[in-house]
């Protein structure tokens, strides 16, 4: 059985007391490494940008490690490593300010990573600027965003862990936003659009807060977002909203509240489907996918997808629900040939 260098492993055993040493942004001549880590976290003093991260997981005993970063973003799913057998994994991460919601707190400058899992063990790590990363921008609301505090979790917060090196999620979803406010706030669309590069994907899920938006305005706003992505050479993807957990007596979801029909009678998913067809835009019908999942689980089991037990909340998802919905998005990205299968993790 292969054994690790115990001097290296001493850095990452859970009993170590090593303090993090900030890396200097100007040290671009070499990768930033494990000297920037404690037993449970790493901090890299890098400017905003996109970075490739390579980790070597494992130790003298069996381990199981996950990696999260920035504002509670899941970057690597829990990965087991047998005793004495290192496991290498890579991912690409977007570093920005603010690091979570665009209208929220700035967060900590640089790149912050947190080790989790049932038995975390990090043997080595390197961080380098990403040279050829493709961005997946997320334009959305609180059901998508990088939620700052547990138990709230957006599906966009869980999506990065299912993407391999070369694909990065830049989550610009923001709580409380409608198509109207997203276009009008300079911290949102006016900040996202200039960053879009040819080949980037922009996933657009806005509907939950368009409660007073009439159909003509809603349709026009979606068209503006689509056109703005295409102006930059990116590929827009329209995403119908996740359902609310609101059941009828017969065990089906309510046609209005659950399926996002607003007080003016605007059927948001139907309008999104219509715009996607008219503008020849790829569509991820997350309404249909989440409806099928919630109804298949039923009234009781579906509570775990949302924050019903914690907050009596039937709109916002738990970590479990956000992860399940991120899986649906990942599968649709592959099925619709928007992302190569080889750049997606299945675990």
85-121 pLDDT per residue, tens: 999 999 999 999 999 999 999 999 999 999 999 999 9
Which of these three, 130, 157, 178, is where a domain ends? 130
Q: Are residues 104 and 21 in the same domain?
A: yes
For residue 285, is pLDDT > 60? yes
Q: Are residues 122 and 199 in the same domain?
A: no
In the chain, the percentage of residues whose pLDDT exceeds 70 is 91
Which of these three, 97, 130, 163, is where a domain ends? 130
Q: Are residues 298 and 192 in the same domain?
A: yes
Output the domain CATH number for residue 24: 2.60.120
More confident residue, 18 or 303: 303
In the chain, the percentage of residues whose pLDDT exceeds 90 is 90
pLDDT at site 344: 96
Which of these three, 130, 152, 179, is where a domain ends? 130
In the chain, the number of structural domains is: 2
Residue 15 binned pLDDT confidence (cut-offs 50, 70, 90) = very low
Q: Are residues 238 and 296 in the same domain?
A: yes
pLDDT at site 347: 64
Q: Are residues 60 and 171 in the same domain?
A: no
pLDDT at site 58: 96
Provide the mean pLDDT of the chain. 92
Range of the domain at 114: 1-130
Q: Are residues 258 and 228 in the same domain?
A: yes
For residue 73, is pLDDT > 50? yes
For residue 28, is pLDDT > 90? no
Over range 142-164, report the average pLDDT.
97
Q: Are residues 44 and 151 in the same domain?
A: no
Output the domain CATH number for residue 331: 3.40.50.1110
For the record, the structure tokens of 76 come out as: 């690597």
37: left (phi over 0), alpha (psi -120 to 50) or beta: beta
More confident residue, 180 or 30: 180
pLDDT at site 20: 31
Q: Are residues 191 and 296 in the same domain?
A: yes
Q: Are residues 280 and 152 in the same domain?
A: yes
For residue 29, is pLDDT > 70? no
For residue 27, is pLDDT > 60? no
| Angle in degrees, CA 85, 165, 231, rounded to 5 | 175
Q: Are residues 192 and 83 in the same domain?
A: no
Rounded distance between C-alpha atoms, residue 134 and residue 200, angstroms: 6
Q: Are residues 115 and 156 in the same domain?
A: no
Q: Are residues 76 and 126 in the same domain?
A: yes
């Amino acid at each position: 059985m292969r054994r690790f260098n115990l001097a290296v492993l001493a850095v990452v055993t859970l009993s170590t007391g090593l303090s993090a040493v900030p890396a200097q942004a100007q040290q671009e001549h070499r990768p930033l490494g494990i000297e920037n880590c404690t037993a449970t976290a790493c901090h890299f003093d890098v400017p905003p940008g996109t970075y490739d991260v390579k980790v070597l997981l494992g130790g003298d005993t069996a381990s199981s490690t996950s990696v999260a970063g920035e504002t509670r973003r899941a970057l690597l799913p829990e990965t087991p490593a047998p005793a004495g057998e290192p496991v290498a994994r890579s991912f690409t991460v977007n570093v920005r300010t603010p690091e979570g919601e665009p209208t929220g707190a700035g967060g900590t400058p640089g790149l912050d990573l947190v080790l989790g899992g049932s038995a975390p063990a990090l043997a080595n790590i390197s961080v380098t600027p990403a040279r050829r990363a493709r961005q997946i921008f997320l334009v959305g609301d609180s059901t998508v965003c990088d939620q700052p505090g547990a138990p709230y979790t957006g599906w966009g917060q869980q999506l990065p862990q299912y993407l391999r090196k070369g694909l990065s999620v830049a989550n610009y979803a923001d709580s409380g936003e409608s198509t109207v406010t997203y276009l009008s706030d300079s911290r949102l669309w006016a900040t996202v659009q200039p960053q879009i590069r040819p080949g980037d994907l922009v996933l657009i899920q806005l509907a939950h807060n368009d409660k007073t938006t009439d159909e003509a305005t809603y349709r026009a706003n979606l068209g503006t977002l689509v056109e703005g992505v295409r102006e930059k050479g990116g590929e827009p993807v329209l995403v119908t909203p996740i359902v609310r957990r609101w059941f009828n007596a017969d065990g089906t979801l309510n046609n209005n509240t659950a399926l996002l029909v607003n007080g003016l009678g605007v059927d948001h998913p139907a309008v999104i489907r219509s715009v996607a067809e008219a503008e020849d835009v790829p569509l991820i019908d997350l309404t249909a996918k989440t409806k099928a999942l919630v109804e298949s689980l039923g009234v009781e089991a579906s509570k775990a997808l949302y924050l019903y037990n914690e907050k009596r909340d039937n709109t916002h998802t738990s970590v479990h629900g956000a992860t399940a919905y991120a899986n649906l998005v990942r599968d649709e990205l592959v099925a619709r040939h928007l992302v190569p299968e080889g750049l997606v993790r299945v675990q």
